[in-house]
Amino acid sequence: MRTAGDAVNDACREKGAMALVTNKKIGVLMGGLSSERAVSLASGGAMLKALKDKGYSAVGIDVGRDIAERLTAEGIGLAVNGLHGKYGEDGAIQGLLELLGVPYTGSGILASAMGMDKIISKTVFQAYGLHVGPYAVVPRGDATAAAAAMAEFGLPLVVKPSAEGSSVGVSVVRREDQFAPALELAFRYDPEILIEKHIAGMEVQVGVLGERALGAIEIVPKDDFYSYDAKYKEGGSEHFFPARIPETVYRATLDAGLAAHRALGCSGYSRVDFIIDRNGVPFILEVNTLPGMTATSLLPDIARGVGIAFPDLVEEIVRLAVMKNG
């Protein structure tokens, strides 16, 4: 049976080993101003190396508030967006690039903004009939709403900022004395936070490339949950590809991942995170419109699992951006 990876590999062969997707100078945007700066530097560095190894004219750009001037001075014709978190994943840099007339990889302004805002994205997912676990939105200072959420959902529960990634500011609350510190941590990042009912089950993430769900990978964190350390520290988690779930559940999860990608209007690529509960129901957590591209990241893992090497994955992301922008 042919896979999504076969289609990508065929496209690479058809264009020839030496042909480039674009002759424009590529700027790989990385670093930035968010709490995920360190991860972005790793993602951007990996993508920059992949492009250079394939013969592209590419430079790394550590994004600061002078980014417009830097792009102009470098003569960048296409931006590979390796940013994560605020200003990079939330539509901000996308809007600037469009004003400058610089094509870029990944999703556009609206999809990026909705994907970054967990409150908005959950509303969209529910409207499209995807399974969303019970949750409450709590503004800063509203102790009554926080207490009501705990009373309704019971323990354990999950407390998280509404617009952060890489599990920054996320806590799993298993005891009452952990609740107040979890709220304090989440409110450091956003004025509105989410309190979610904890769903016991398996963490599974779907990689989407173009208009294809490539596959689903299972995550077994060594930590209490898939925390920042579990994601980025060597040995912080085990990955199993394909996910060890029944075929019918696997297919349903792939379908849900692609549906979520489309519901937000994403383009290029994404990673969609789920908890598969004990009944085999895939509950969506979020869509990552700019998933990690480090050595331990999941989208590259999924791509390798279907036969797409990392440099080919990066080149395909560039090709999709070129196609989108004519």
What residues are labeled active site? 36, 166, 232, 271, 273, 286, 288, 292
Cα–Cα distance measured from residue 113 to residue 10, given in angstroms and rounded to the nearest whole number: 33
Determine which helix (DSSP H) or strand (DSSP E) holds 213, and give its type and residue range.
Answer: strand 212-221
- Paired residues of 282 in beta bridges: 276
Residue 166: closest CA among 301, 32, 29, 292: 292
Q: Are strands 282-288 and 201-209 parallel, antiparallel or unpaired?
A: unpaired
Helix, strand, coil fractions of the chain, as percent rounded to 5: 40, 20, 35
Kindly report the number of other CB atoms within 10 A of residue 225's CB atom: 15
Phi–psi pair at 110, nearest 5 degrees: -65, -45
Kindly state the tokens that stand for 118.
Answer: 């967990």
Spatial contact of 284 and 125, defined as CB atoms under 8 Å apart:
yes
Q: Are strands 58-62 and 26-30 parallel, antiparallel or unpaired?
A: parallel
